[in-house]
Each structure stands twice: as C-alpha cells, then as structure tokens.
Amino acid sequence: MVGAANASQPSLGGVGLESSSGVRGADLVGADQETAMLSVQGERARLLDKQVETQIQELRALNRRLELLNIVQAGLKAVQAQFNAGAKYDKEWDDASGGWSYRQADRINRAAAEAGINLGFASDSNTWRLFGHMGDMKDFARAYLPSEQAHLLEQWRDKADLRGHLLAAQLVDRMAGHDGFMTPDYPGQTLNRCPGGIRYDSEYGELRKAVTRVQGAIDEASNLQQDQLLRLQALMNRRNESADMLTNYIRKMQDSRMAISEKIRGT
C-alpha cells in the first residue's frame, strides 16, 4: 500500500520537485527561516533552469526536422519540375527531362531518413536503366566505381559501347536493392537503400502524393514549433521571475543583517 506521503509529488511554486532535487523536506528541518526560504527559492530556480534547457533541446530537434523536411520538399518539387504539365501519372523520373539524378535522389532520401518520414515510393527491381538514364552518371562512376568501369560507362554514354551496357546490367545485379537510392558510404560499397525513398523509376503520380505528404508533415511541425516557442517563452518568464525573487530575497536578507549589525554596534 502506498502511503499518503507518496501519493503526490511535492512542488515549489508550481514547479515539481524531483527525487534527485537538491532540496528535500528533511533538509529544511532545523534550518532557520531565512536559510529554508533561500534553499526553496534556489531550488525552484534550478528546476526552472532545467525545464528551460529541456525545452530548448526539444525545440532544436524540431527545428532540425523542419529543416530536413524543407530539404526533402525542395528536392521533390525540383524533380516534379522535370515533368511536363500534362505528364501521365505512370511516367517515370528516368524518362523525364534530363533523366534522373543520383545526387538529387541521395539528397532527398538522406534528409527523409533523418527526418523520420517515409515518402511512400514503391520498391521495385532495378535494370540497366538505373545507370543508363542517370543524368549525372559520369560523375557517379568517377566517384564510386573503379577507373576502368567508369571509363566503360562513359564510352557507353558517349559512343554507345555495348560493353558499358553489359557492365551496367552487372553492376545493378551486384550493387542495387529495391528501395530508394542513396550513394555508397565509400567507393566500391554497395548502394545504400532508403525504404519508401525516391528511385530512378519512381512515377509522377507517386511524386505528387509524396509532395502532399511532406507538406502535411511541414505544416504539422510548423504548428508544433509555434506551440513550443510559446511554452519556452512562458518558462523563461517564470525563470526570470524566480531569479528576481531570489535576488530580492538575498538583498532583503543582507539588508536585514546589516541593520542588525548596525544596531549591535550602536549599543
């Protein structure tokens, strides 16, 4: 059975006292009134400082997520701009103007993964088109493939060299998975994959849905950001008031002791 003393947590001026707090009821037993009040006011200020710090950390995390979501949205809209206004919903990114970009896919998917949002793009098997329709394929090959393989892919792009086509098919079987595209962490590594992330063959209809989904997440995060800013401001006001109270109390204590000392000297 839980005793009445444990039924509720003690508080100081509306700020809860934790079990690890610096002031406990037992600590105040036997203390003079001034010392007890000073301890209480100091503990209240400490707890408010801790709450402000926690709120700032939460707000920073939310700001980072909002930043990432905006990166994702900007990338998705840039991809969307590659499609004609009347594009069919099943038209793929690799068939859009300029082809697909590994850099853009990587930027979108990494930001989405860090923000914790699934963009909803379907997974699928890959073909040679992953390399063949990559607008910045030469840059990718030079950055992540051995020089001889990079050269073959360049010859394929520039001169339709069949050996490059065959190499692309082999690389897809060895390197690529089924989910959204992310670059290797180092040359020679298999490609990273992002579940629900954008792919070279993601369709225009999927893209439109992803833009709507991300915008909803941005709006939600923005509203939460405003709420947290208001809460932080309220906490800071309370902390400042507590600091002023503590300062005033210390000043009154000092004035009182000084007055007593002067009376003693005057006797």
> Tens of pLDDT along 169-193?
999 888 877 899 998 887 767 788 8
Q: Residue 89 has what pLDDT? A: 95
> Is residue 86, in this structure, part of any structural domain at all?
yes
Q: In the prediction, which pLDDT does 30 show?
A: 47
User: Is residue 55 in some structural domain?
Assistant: no
Question: 78 lies in a domain?
Answer: yes
Residue 139 in any domain: the answer is: yes
Residues of the chain below pLDDT 70: 1-38, 41, 188, 266-267
A 10 A CB-CB count for 119 gives: 24
229 in a structural domain: no
For 198, the 3-state DSSP assignment is coil
- Helices 137-144 & 102-115 angle (0-180, nearest 10): 70
**Tally of domains within the chain:** 1
- Assess contact for 219 and 138: CB atoms under 8 A: no
Extended strands (E) in the chain:
11-12, 15-16, 180-182, 192-194
Say what the pTM is.
0.74
User: Is 151 part of any domain?
Assistant: yes
Please report the pLDDT score of residue 37 as a whole number.
67
Per-residue b/e over 22-53, b at no fewer than 16 CB within 10 Å? Answer: ebeeeeeeeeeeeeeebbbbbbbbbbbeebbe
Contact 133, 82 (CB under 8 A): no
Spell out the residues 6+ positions from residue 247 whose beta carbon is closer than 8 angstroms to its own: none
**Is 248 part of any domain?**
no
Residue 11 lies in a domain: no
Q: Which is it for strands 192-194 and 180-182: parallel, antiparallel or unpaired?
A: antiparallel
